């Protein structure tokens, strides 16, 4: 009986793990990006505007992933008028994909 109960708990955990662990791109953006890029991606003096951003629209996911993980500083900066460097982001692969999906959605506005 205990073994059956244990298996039931494990089965439930596995069944719900996909939704419980799924990365939330909007929440990650809010926590890690919005302080510079604005809550709606409208940009600020510290971060580029993401709404309607052609670079984000056209850049492939793997390139954006590399950019998020490595950041941009100095000569590598795309938006020279913004004085602040883009810091490296510590995200796992699922989180990175979720953030990219979210910012591509913002860019399409």
User: Which residue shows structure tokens 């951003």?
Assistant: 53
CA distance 20 to 32: 20
Does 55 fall in a domain? yes
Does 65 fall in a domain? yes
Q: Which of 105, 95, 89, 90 is nearest to 25 (CA)?
A: 95
Q: What is the CATH number of the domain that holds 75?
A: 1.10.760.10
Does 38 fall in a domain? yes
Q: Residue 89 sits in which domain range?
A: 23-107
Does 6 fall in a domain? no
pLDDT digits (tens, 9 = 90+) for 28-74: 999 999 999 999 999 999 999 999 999 999 999 999 999 999 998 88
For residue 21, the model assigns a pLDDT of 55
- Classify each residue of 13-51 as buried b or exposed e, where b means 16 or more C-beta atoms within 10 Å of its C-beta: eeeeeeeeeebebeebbeebbbebbbeebebeeebbbbe
CA distance 78 to 85: 10
**pTM assigned to the model:** 0.77
CA distance 37 to 75: 20
Angle subtended by helix axes 61-70 and 93-107, to nearest 10: 110
Does 42 fall in a domain? yes
Does 62 fall in a domain? yes
Does 63 fall in a domain? yes
Q: How many structural domains compose the chain?
A: 1
Does 31 fall in a domain? yes
């Amino acid at each position: 009986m205990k073994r059956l109960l244990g298996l039931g708990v494990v089965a439930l955990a596995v069944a719900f793990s996909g939704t419980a662990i799924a990365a939330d791109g909007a929440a990650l953006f809010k926590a890690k990006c919005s302080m510079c890029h604005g809550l709606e991606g409208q940009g600020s003096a510290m971060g580029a505007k993401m709404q309607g951003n052609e670079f984000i629209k056209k850049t492939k996911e793997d390139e954006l992933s590399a950019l998020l993980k490595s950041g941009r500083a100095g000569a590598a900066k795309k938006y020279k008028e913004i004085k602040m460097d883009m810091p490296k982001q510590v995200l796992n692969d699922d989180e990175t994909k979720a953030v990219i999906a979210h910012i591509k959605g913002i860019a399409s506005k």
